[in-house]
Structure 1
């Protein structure tokens, strides 16, 4: 434990020194780097993340933190982050106990480290997440409430430890509902994105819009580590790396049963590992994204080289969802050695092992998806479902500005066993652009309620 010292909270007003860097200029390495080389069936570079084990520690109590004082804690955490960043590497230490807080904005070369028994309890007051920051909503860029933890254009950045991040849901759970003003706001954002309105003009925090913030978003960051922590409850998507490179999420436990509470949403992110995690979700365990329509075509960055392994899923809509925001393209995904919690009753809300979903507005592509060695009890869907006309509430809410179909090919499932399921494989391709090259090897189920295979518009299907 570092020595305690007095600190004037007003120091948080000091000008930031050497904070986050431009995404295209992430070249400085102020901390030792770990190299993670994965054995994958596709060519994947080693992932590099920073090693904070010997970094200087910045205890938030030395900056005026007080467990029940949200304002003092917000200032203390910001000051400690600033000091660690100015030191060109440091660990911001959250001691045991419950600490009220609001938004946390990370900087480069900083590890937010939660001790065992520490809880950061985040306010549910929307005003605490203003001013608006450059973020996203379901694949469209905009200015919205700050994610509860947010990093923009940072490198060598981390969240670690044995503590907990927890969101109060008082307001967010009311916002889970989607009344007309909210749907109108979504339509407004959709039209702005389709018409290439500058992101700075897409201000979405006006009354009634109610676009809930992400819990954790790393936006245009590199060398990102999230390790060891627990996360409970969330306004929206839980962990969202957007336009990132070199990301590791390991030994993390997520429990969030609210609306849109996916566990991890990698979006236009490359070179990523998710391992040894536990997911207990109100939505998908992992939802692989690549942006929506015109915004993604503009950013032109696929999600690529993603490995998920050795994870336990307690509850989720799908183990792996791909899309429907996939307009930038998704390729080279390996998911292996994962299992659903034992028992058939677990499966309430569980759909498929893999669901690939898109529609005529998305364009993009999905290719080289490899899923192997998965075990599940009962699911409501099957091992593989591919749907190409998924529009949900958007079908009648907004028009199709530009029609682009999605190329889907090279999907490989092997050594998957289900105790109970509706089917093994259900593919609904499009006559204009059939799904191509799907192989299922040793994919079995003890009990089915429908035909094992039900495919339309598929070329090159093998089931052995």
Structure 2
């Protein structure tokens, strides 16, 4: 009888636990037309979920500690319910880090501002993250999701990073460079991640603003983002990601807008970028990291976006050791007066390996471009050129690049392609890719096979 009672209690406990964890979040399926086979994208639908105001959990304007605690409590409650909308009401709210959980929508009402602390101590303890394509334990991203499913950040409000500390950390003194070298060597030696602790007094590896790490079914919609310590939005090893109708203004060092890295089934649309670096940079790990994780960035669509400033409209690389394929960029505009180097820039080096293939861009208009419409370079090493030697030489095959109906007012070149003698770039197709004025040379080619321009 005791055994039966114990069994019934255990079953009741299991049923209760299942009920507590059961998701009440719906699913929306997004279909996108592309030149390649594109899977449908699943994103969460929170329309039937309960709203949880952070005020009801103790948030107080002007009090960072109480507001940070209230947001965490509301996220826990939404997760416990199996789905919930954590509401940030109108007004400015000071906060530290925010860690999302599955089945949670962080929703900022119109006029709401989440103002994030500039104190690095508020982003400890260290979490599993990455720095320029190398995994490590580092300061928590300001908004962080790890191994989550069905998550969203939505609304008409604003999130902003206060930059007092981070802008000082933009500099790269010798201590910072030494830490980069240490991390590189740890990654190259396949050192366990727990041993790659990068938080100390001198490393100054700035955190991303938003990182979705190893997560799926993600929606980021409507909000404005102001300033960022490092990369602004970083989908990392994630699947089914939709980023739409957001505005990003971030003019600091390494302030890319969106960096999909080793992520798949990604839609970026109707966004506005005003950046200090690339508007969108597609990546897939640096050197052995990409080889170890074996997860290409794949099935990525960028459409109907506007760039007001940045280095490139879309960069591919230079961290691309896991491979990048099936990218479609369509119907985008770079405003006249924006300072851009290229519209499309593919960059790698002899240490990366990986591959790039099936890149399609069409219907893009720009004003003056400092360099050209298409750039492909295979010897881009930046600070790494003299920091560490080439240990393993792995070239990057680059093929099947299609550009159509693209124009700029003034460029130095239409396309400059600098391939490797041992592995030429191949299969480049340009159709109706033009500029009103070309200052230097229309096409610059080195080690290229099968280049066609119509």
Smaller-chain TM-score bracket: over 0.9
Q: Look up the match of 1:396.
A: 386
Match of 2:271 in 1: 277
> Which of 411, 430, 445 is residue 440 of structure 1 equivalent to?
430
The CA deviation string for residues 394-417 of structure 1, in whole angstroms up to 9 with x for no partner, is: 000012121100000000000001
Q: Is 2:378 the counterpart of 1:384?
A: no
Q: 1:128: Cα distance to partner?
A: 0.4
Alpha-carbon RMSD across the aligned residues, in angstroms, is 1.0
| 1:266-293 Cα shifts (integer Å, max 9, x gaps) | 0000000000000000000000000011
Quote the Cα distance in structure 1 between the aligned partners of 2:295 and 2:147. 16
The answer to whether the 8 A contact 1:292-1:326 is kept is yes
Aligned-residue offset at 1:29: 5.1
Residues 1:114 and 2:114 are matched in the alignment? no
Larger radius of gyration: 2
Check conservation: 2:79, 2:102, Cα contact below 8 A.
yes
The match for 1:314 is 308
Q: Which of 235, 241, 244 is matched with 2:238 structurally?
A: 244
- Counterparts of 1:76 and 1:201, CA distance in 2: 33
Whether 2:49 is the aligned partner of 1:52: answer no
Q: Residue 62 of structure 1 aligns to a residue in which SS?
A: helix
User: Alignment partner of 2:413: what SS?
Assistant: coil
Q: 2:86 aligns with which of 81, 92, 102?
A: 92
Give distance in 1, aligned partners of 2:278 and 2:318: 12
Q: CA deviation at 1:31?
A: 1.2
In 2, are the aligned partners of 1:194 and 1:401 still within 8 Å (CA)? no
Q: Give the 4+ runs in structure 1 shifted more than 6 A.
A: none
Does the aligned pair in 1 maintain the 2:50–2:85 contact within 8 Å?
A: yes
Distance 2:61 2:47 in 1: 26
What displacement does 1:449 show?
1.0
Q: In structure 2, which of residues 377, 388, 399 is the aligned counterpart of residue 409 of structure 1?
A: 399
Counterpart check, 1:154 vs 2:148: yes
Task: Specify whether residues 53 and 286 from structure 1 end up closer, same or farther in structure 2 by C-alpha distance, changes over 3 A only.
Answer: same
Which residue of the partner structure matches residue 347 of structure 1?
Answer: 338
- The CA deviation string for residues 71-93 of structure 1, in whole angstroms up to 9 with x for no partner, is 00110000000000000000000
TM-score, normalised via structure 1 length: 0.93
- Residue in 1 aligned with 2:297? 303
Helix, strand or coil: the match of 1:85? helix
Give the match's secondary structure for 2:371.
Answer: coil
Q: Deviations over 1:299-319 (max 9, x none)?
A: 000000000000010001000
Q: Does the 8 A contact of 1:356 with 1:385 survive in 2?
A: yes
| 1:200 counterpart SS class | helix
State how far apart, in whole Å, the 2-side matches of 1:220 and 1:143 are.
15
Q: What SS does the corresponding residue of 1:377 show, helix, strand or coil?
A: coil
Contact 1:428–1:457 (Cα < 8 Å) also in 2: yes
Look up the match of 2:11.
Answer: none
Number of aligned positions between the proteins? 436
Which residue number corresponds to residue 440 of structure 2?
450
- How much has 1:296 moved relative to structure 2? 1.0
Q: Structure 2 residue aligned with 1:335, among 324, 329, 340?
A: 329
3-state DSSP of counterpart to 1:424: strand
Q: Does 1:77 align with 2:76?
A: no
Paired position in structure 2 for 1:36: 30
Aligned to 1:265: 259
- Give secondary structure in 1 for the equivalent of 2:372: coil
CA distance in 1, matches of 2:162, 2:448: 46
Q: Secondary structure at the match of 2:190?
A: coil
Q: Secondary structure in 1 aligned to 2:152?
A: strand
- Which one of the candidate residues 180, 196, 208 is aligned to 2:202? 208
Alignment partner of 1:429 is 2:419: yes
- Contiguous gaps of at least 5 residues in structure 1: 1-16, 22-27
Match of 1:3 in 2: none
Shift of 1:347: 2.9
1:371 aligns with 2:361: yes
Whole-Å Cα distance in 2 between the matches of residues 142 and 279 of structure 1?
28
Q: Residue 34 of structure 1: CA displacement?
A: 0.2
TM-superposed CA distance for 1:44, in Å, is 1.1
Alignment of 1:128-147 (within 5 A): 128-147=122-141
Q: Distance in 2 between matches of 1:441 and 1:351?
A: 21
Question: Are the aligned partners of 1:147 and 1:217 in contact in 2 as well (CA < 8 Å)?
Answer: yes
**C-alpha offsets along residues 409-453 of structure 1, whole Å, 9 cap, x if unaligned?**
000000001001111000000010000100000000001111000
* Distance in 2 of aligned mates of 1:421 and 1:240: 30
Tell me the secondary structure at the aligned position of residue 181 of structure 2.
helix
Q: Please say if residues 307 and 338 of structure 2, whose CA atoms lie closer than 8 Å, have aligned partners that are also in contact.
A: no
- Residue aligning to 2:225: 231
Note the alpha carbon deviations across 1:136-190, whole angstroms, 9 max, x for none. Answer: 0000000000000000000000000000000000000000010000000000000
Asked whether the equivalents of residues 347 and 380 of structure 1 are also in contact (C-alpha less than 8 Å), the reply is no
Structure 2: segments with no counterpart, 5+ residues: 1-16
